[in-house]
A and B are shown apart, each in its own frame.
Chain A
Amino acid sequence: MPGIDECLLEAMRLPGARGAALVDWTSGLALGTVGEAPGGDHETTAAEAAELARMAAEHGTFAAGGDDLPPVEDVIISNGDSYHLLRFVDTSFDSSVFLHLWLGREEGNLALARIRLGEMAARLVLG
Chain B
Amino acid sequence: MTVVSTPQPALPVRDKGAGRALSPMLTRLAEERATGVLVREHGVLHLAEGRVVHAESPLAPGLDVLLTAHGTLAAAAWQQAAARTAGPLHAAELLLRSGVLPTGALELCHLDAVYDAGYFALAPSSTPGRFRYDSAPRLGPLPSVPVVALERETLRRRLLLHRLWPDPAADTAPLIRADPATGRTPADPAGPAGPVTPGRRAARVAPATPVTPRQRAVLDRVDGMRTAADIARNLGRQAFHTLVDVRRLTAAGQIAPAPAAPAPPPPPPYQVTTDPDIALLKRLRDALEAL
Residue-by-residue, is A41-84 near B (CB-CB < 8 Å gives 1, otherwise 0)?
00110011011001000101000000000010000000000000
CA A24 to CA B160, docked complex, whole Å: 14
Could you tell me which residues of chain A, from 81 to 120, have a CB within 8 Å of some CB in chain B?
89, 91-97
Contact B13–A4 (Cβ < 8 Å): no
Contact B14–A125 (Cβ < 8 Å): no
Partner of A51, one of B10, B69, B108, B238: B10
Contact A126–B69 (Cβ < 8 Å): no
Query: Which of B26-34, B99-107, B187-195 lies at the interface with chain A?
Result: B99-107
**Could you tell me the distance in whole angstroms from the C-beta of A94 to the nearest C-beta in chain B?**
4
Query: Which of B48-56, B109-117, B283-291 lies at the interface with chain A?
Result: B109-117
Contact A43–B115 (Cβ < 8 Å): no
A4 touching B108 in the complex, CB below 8 Å, given contacts A93-B70, A96-B241:
yes
Contact A97–B108 (Cβ < 8 Å): yes
Contact A93–B102 (Cβ < 8 Å): no
Contact A123–B104 (Cβ < 8 Å): yes
Which residue on chain A has the smallest CB distance to residue B14?
Answer: A43
A95 touching B112 in the complex, CB below 8 Å, given contacts A27-B157, A51-B11:
yes
A27, A31, A127 interface centre (most CB from chain B within 10 Å): A27
Which residue on chain B has the smallest CB distance to residue A1?
Answer: B103
Contact B210–A29 (Cβ < 8 Å): no
Contact A24–B102 (Cβ < 8 Å): no
Q: Is the interface of A mostly helix, strand, loop or mixed?
A: mixed
How many A-B residue pairs lie within 8 Å, measured between CB atoms? 106
Could you tell me which residues of chain B, from 66 to 95, have a CB within 8 Å of some CB in chain A?
66-67, 69-72
CA A78 to CA B160, docked complex, whole Å: 28
Q: Does B235 contact A (CB under 8 A)?
A: yes
Q: Does B153 contact A (CB under 8 A)?
A: yes
**9 nearest CB pairs, A to B:** A127-B102, A124-B104, A28-B11, A47-B11, A94-B237, A3-B103, A125-B105, A92-B72, A1-B103
A-B pairs with beta carbons under 8 Å apart, 9 shown = A6-B103, A28-B12, A29-B115, A31-B111, A47-B12, A93-B105, A93-B109, A94-B69, A94-B235
Q: A1-B103, A47-B12, A94-B236 are in contact. List 18 more A-B contacts (CB 8 A).
A: A2-B104, A3-B107, A7-B104, A26-B240, A27-B11, A27-B241, A29-B156, A31-B112, A44-B13, A47-B10, A48-B11, A54-B8, A91-B105, A94-B66, A97-B108, A125-B104, A126-B102, A127-B101
Q: Which residues of B contact A (CB under 8 A)?
A: 8, 10-14, 66-67, 69-72, 99, 101-105, 107-109, 111-112, 115, 143, 153, 156-157, 160, 210, 212-214, 235-238, 240-241, 244
